[in-house]
């Protein structure tokens, strides 16, 4: 494993964290009083990126004396036999996630999320369809009830907008 790649990626993470914090400063404050404010989440994420990147840089620099070359022993454990890590699987999950985000508004949370979960579990080679469907539906319904109904977070409902409006479950 080449430590220069790790350090380069860590520097990019630090720079991204700084970018997130600087961009968060441009978020306008709301008219109503909010003890946390709309910027806090982004400040927190930026700090996590910066600290994580700096921590990884420090770890790589501290082992330089033990391994004077750029190559260092690989970390972690070997892949599980029969289930190796693959670029294909990671790429498919990334494409699936992008498709989920792009279609969430027109399709709606209640239709898109269980499909996303079932497809993701299939990509991860979980082949028990009943379990996949159950996990997708339970997750979707539970978090819809918690966030949309309990906490009042707006989640897109897609083709159910008219029905939910008529039932008084959403105000749009």
- pLDDT greater than 60 at residue 166: yes
Q: What percent of the chain has pLDDT over 90?
A: 48
**Selection from 9, 6, 10 nearest residue 72 by Cα:** 6
Pull the structure tokens for residue 117: 């979960």
The ranges assigned to domains in the chain are: 3-62, 87-167
Write down the pLDDT at residue 13: 96
Question: When comparing pLDDT for 142 and 71, which is higher?
Answer: 142
Secondary-structure breakdown of the chain: helix, strand, coil percentages, each rounded to the nearest 5 = 65, 0, 30
Write down the pLDDT at residue 17: 96
* Whole-number average pLDDT of the chain: 86
Binned at pLDDT 50, 70 and 90, residue 14 comes out as very high
């Amino acid at each position: 494993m080449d430590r220069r790649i790790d350090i380069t990626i860590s520097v990019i993470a630090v720079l991204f964290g700084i970018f997130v914090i600087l961009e968060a400063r441009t978020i306008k404050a709301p008219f109503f009083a909010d003890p946390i404010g709309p910027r806090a989440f982004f400040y927190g994420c930026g700090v996590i990126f910066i600290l994580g990147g700096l921590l990884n840089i420090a770890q790589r620099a501290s082992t330089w004396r033990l391994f004077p070359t750029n190559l260092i022993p690989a970390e972690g454990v070997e892949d599980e036999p029969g289930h190796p890590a693959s670029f294909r699987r990671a790429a498919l999950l990334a494409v699936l996630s992008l498709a989920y985000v792009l279609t969430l508004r027109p399709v709606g949370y209640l239709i898109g999320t269980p499909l996303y979960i079932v497809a993701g579990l299939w990509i991860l080679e979980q082949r028990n369809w009943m379990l996949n469907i159950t996990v997708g539906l339970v997750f979707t319904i539970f978090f819809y009830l918690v966030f949309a109904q309990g906490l009042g977070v707006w989640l897109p409902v897609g083709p159910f907008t008219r029905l939910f409006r008529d039932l008084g479950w959403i105000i749009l």
